[in-house]
């Protein structure tokens, strides 16, 4: 398999990155995700793939709800906080503004474009990431914005490396 060609195609697609947050029994977690996409129109579903290596994974497995926050070009620092640090070592939520939501996941104050999602299915097909298929519970839009994309965060080193 030509993985370099695969990587080239994926890089050219340049997906928008987002921050997924979750909370269980007062413990909070969140990570940067590039693997996420709408996955149904009716009903509205969104799927997110989380690395088994992440602190966020353990909480996402047991939480009913997660929040996905779209990032803008002004949010590189948030991408760094959630993508380059791990909840195994730091409390990311002591380093950013957030508010608790009625459903549980912390909501990032800086990110008005966000989805509140309920877990519908978990897909573990043996890879290093696990798919979380979710139903839309609520969405908020702050108006038009320029998304932060993978190509804008190429300088970031992931807090956890997936896939060995």
Q: Give the β-pairing of 65-70 and 98-99.
A: unpaired
Return the number of the residue (35 or 145) whose C-beta is nearest ligand FMN.
35
Reading phi first (left if > 0) and then psi (alpha if -120 to 50, else beta), residue 143 is in left
Considering only 49-57, 62-70, 109-117, 131-139, which stretch makes contact with ligand FMN by CB under 6 A?
A: 49-57
End-to-end CA distance of the chain: 18
Position 85 contacts ligand FMN (CB under 6 A): yes
Structure tokens of 73?
């070009």
Report if residue 87 touches ligand FMN, rule: CB under 6 A.
yes
Taking alpha carbons only, the member of 56, 54, 16, 58 closest to residue 37 is 16
Within residues 102-131, the interface with ligand FMN by CB under 6 A covers: 129
Applying CB under 6 A, does 51 fall inside the site for ligand FMN? yes
Residues that bind ligand FMN (CB under 6 A): 17, 29, 31-35, 49-51, 54-56, 83-88, 129, 150, 153, 156, 158-160
């Amino acid at each position: 398999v030509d993985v370099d060609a695969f990587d080239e195609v994926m890089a050219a697609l340049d997906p928008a990155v987002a921050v997924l947050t979750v909370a269980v029994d007062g413990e909070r977690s969140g990570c940067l995700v590039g693997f996420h996409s709408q996955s149904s129109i009716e009903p509205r579903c969104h799927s997110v793939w989380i690395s088994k290596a992440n602190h966020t994974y353990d909480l996402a497995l047991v939480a009913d709800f997660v929040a996905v926050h779209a990032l803008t070009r002004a949010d590189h620092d948030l991408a760094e906080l959630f993508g380059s640090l791990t909840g195994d070592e730091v409390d990311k939520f002591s380093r950013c503004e957030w508010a608790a939501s009625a459903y549980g996941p912390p909501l990032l104050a800086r990110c008005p474009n966000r989805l509140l999602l309920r877990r519908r299915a978990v897909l573990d097909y043996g890879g290093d990431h696990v798919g979380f298929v979710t139903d839309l519970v609520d969405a908020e839009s702050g108006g038009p914005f320029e998304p932060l994309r993978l190509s804008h965060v190429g300088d970031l080193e992931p807090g956890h490396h997936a896939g060995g």
